[in-house]
Structure 1
């Protein structure tokens, strides 16, 4: 008779959208054979209670993280709180004997990176960072092509990311709009993109020249209010968000805002927003590869364009995530060979789940025993650190006007 698999006892910290869905409801729905949710922690207990109901769990609720660790002793802690709070939570979890999965970015400053890395080494526990884009089928196929030498050694990369005027605007409604909490979108959002580059190229960024400006949201708006629900301009604002029309967001944020004052529909034009909405960077890698990168947050399309240039050819992808026309349910990678080698069009079908199957593949890799990580997709604290440091270097450069080198913490 086969021995029953011992499930990992995990605690969830932070019950916003990502914690409630990706690491709550979805994780238990698809991986309950491997995991058991034993505790839920949030400073807002009304939000935690509503999240627990959505997840379909009976796990106890905690406001005090240290007390939860002491009473439950989870083997794993999943961190889904605002970015600037990750370090203290990760370190406490590691010191309690738990492993950690941190939502990206791992943290927001070099000092916090150093504290996390030191605690991980000291405790012997493990930190995983949720870089799910590595696991998308299309990203995996591109990685294979590069490692196979399909275009010879890569010499430069063109990488441009587009957030549409729904997704992009959402960052400016929330706590992400303040650099003290998110490190700016050069960190919070671009951590995904810089990590993809680091992983694709198997090298570290060493120097960044960045530009960033707030040109669309914040003080650039034609009018402003405190939040959409009470705004006198809701009838004329392109960015009006009717929270009540989304039962999920309304339940998680509207009534719970009475406890913590956090409104999910804050005005995208409020004058104290202090992060750029339009960003570019030139990045030099230790391997010599040069990268041209951009991030825009108010486009009519969502997705990205990436191209790898090599001595023997070029790999190109234009991935649409949302757009005002119908696209086939697959991504087209175009492999162009130099010197008469011709063109190959490689179609990669989308898979079920978030990020075209990347979310599911990542959860399989982390939780299913015996998973083969042949492409080195599972990301630890070093990967988390390098992507954050690249974003911080880009932000520093954009503010000083010079180029910035990455701190030599690692």
Structure 2
């Protein structure tokens, strides 16, 4: 049987996939989990990471014999993949995406698509120039509750949307992790207004089916960084482990230890960096106001050291209000479903129960992988997100950072992150 025929499976072709970036997300969702559930649609032909030790450990954990590379150019030339999945550090996405597009590959990239308006423009221009597509992995769009909310909004269940209240809470486990890792520096992540809020801004853009016009934002550092009562280099060598509420013992997590501890000898990157490092330069408490082209106004906030994990979201319309409080982790029991409150002006209140689904992000991760790897998967709600969506959510974050620094509202048109009209 020829190699071409070997790759043809029932219902479509098995994609030849190269994974670039083998940290927790890359080795997990786009590595081990991908091969476990989508083996009929994907085969790994390369594993690439600047840290060869990490790439080797990840390859073994994923369960593939694909060759390991430390250089993207060499990998692209050697294996000529169909799809390149980009899971590297945020500020490196653009160069990898550009090289993959120029090599004739389709790209699937983790969010945020990139970290600066200039990099956004380069990616969009390359996509147009090469004709090769970029998909951005906004998995929250695929969560069952998000899909139900989208349906209600499209049905105009509360008339025309006039404003939105959106408040996201990261707990002392998840939130602190961003300050342990490379995300704690704006040059790497663009700040959490870019790295984390890109999820939330994308949801808003998708829900409202409009383009944000301007952003006014504030951000401050109140808990992490220089606010700490003591500090060290990393948890593993710190003398304050008994008195620090944020102490992380990585030896108790085999997965993290495998991906980061031994590989740290190669590049000096520690997964358990001190959350009180004085050079951390991103805010941990953020708020923003957004105005859309359709005149919807949004009040948004992100807090990173809460006792709860999840969000509160409300849509206010000319005919009523839709409200949801979703819990992801909290110190009290909650039901195994979400409850959407549909409240109509001068009418009844409807409680819409949405069961949680298995898998990451309440089943959103699995639905996303189906959409990207199983050809013909229907998309009636427009959940699949391309480079334009990736750019618009990132530009919201960039505008928030610019507003925070300048002390004034920032129009997205000021940022220059979109290609000039032909």
What is the TM-score of this pair, normalised by structure 1?
Answer: 0.98
Taking only aligned residues, the RMSD between alpha carbons, in angstroms, comes to: 0.9
2:184 alignment partner in structure 1: 177
Shift in CA distance, 354/3, structure 1 to aligned 2, threshold 3 Å = closer
Question: Are positions 1:280 and 2:323 aligned together?
Answer: no
Question: Are positions 1:270 and 2:280 aligned together?
Answer: no
SS in 2 for 1:369: coil
Question: Are positions 1:388 and 2:394 aligned together?
Answer: yes
Question: Are positions 1:222 and 2:229 aligned together?
Answer: yes
1:225-374 → structure 2 map (5 Å cutoff):
225-339=232-346, 341-374=347-380
Q: Give the deviation of 1:367 after TM superposition.
A: 1.0
Shift in CA distance, 177/3, structure 1 to aligned 2, threshold 3 Å = closer
1:1-400 → structure 2 map (5 Å cutoff):
4=10, 5-339=12-346, 341-400=347-406
* CA–CA distance in structure 1, aligned partners of residues 115 and 337 of structure 2: 35
Q: Give the deviation of 1:408 after TM superposition.
A: 4.9
* CA–CA distance in structure 1, aligned partners of residues 417 and 359 of structure 2: 36
Q: Give the deviation of 1:53 after TM superposition.
A: 0.9
Q: Give the deviation of 1:114 after TM superposition.
A: 0.7
* CA–CA distance in structure 1, aligned partners of residues 111 and 76 of structure 2: 22
Q: Give the deviation of 1:64 after TM superposition.
A: 1.3
* CA–CA distance in structure 1, aligned partners of residues 187 and 312 of structure 2: 30
* CA–CA distance in structure 1, aligned partners of residues 216 and 28 of structure 2: 37
Conserved 8 A contact 2:136-2:385: yes
Q: Give the deviation of 1:369 after TM superposition.
A: 1.8
2:4 alignment partner in structure 1: none
Q: Give the deviation of 1:400 after TM superposition.
A: 1.2
Query: What stretches of structure 1 move > 6 A for 4+ residues in a row?
Result: none
SS in 2 for 1:314: strand
* CA–CA distance in structure 1, aligned partners of residues 374 and 79 of structure 2: 23
User: Runs of 5+ in structure 1 lacking a partner?
Assistant: none
* CA–CA distance in structure 1, aligned partners of residues 84 and 236 of structure 2: 35
User: Runs of 5+ in structure 2 lacking a partner?
Assistant: 1-7
Q: Give the deviation of 1:3 after TM superposition.
A: 6.8
SS in 2 for 1:296: strand
Q: Give the deviation of 1:48 after TM superposition.
A: 0.6
SS in 2 for 1:40: strand
SS in 2 for 1:187: helix
* CA–CA distance in structure 2, aligned partners of residues 260 and 3 of structure 1: 40
* CA–CA distance in structure 1, aligned partners of residues 260 and 409 of structure 2: 40
SS in 2 for 1:335: strand
* CA–CA distance in structure 1, aligned partners of residues 375 and 289 of structure 2: 40
What is the TM-score of this pair, normalised by structure 2?
Answer: 0.96
* CA–CA distance in structure 2, aligned partners of residues 103 and 395 of structure 1: 21
SS in 2 for 1:266: coil
Q: Give the deviation of 1:393 after TM superposition.
A: 0.6
Count of aligned pairs between the two proteins: 408
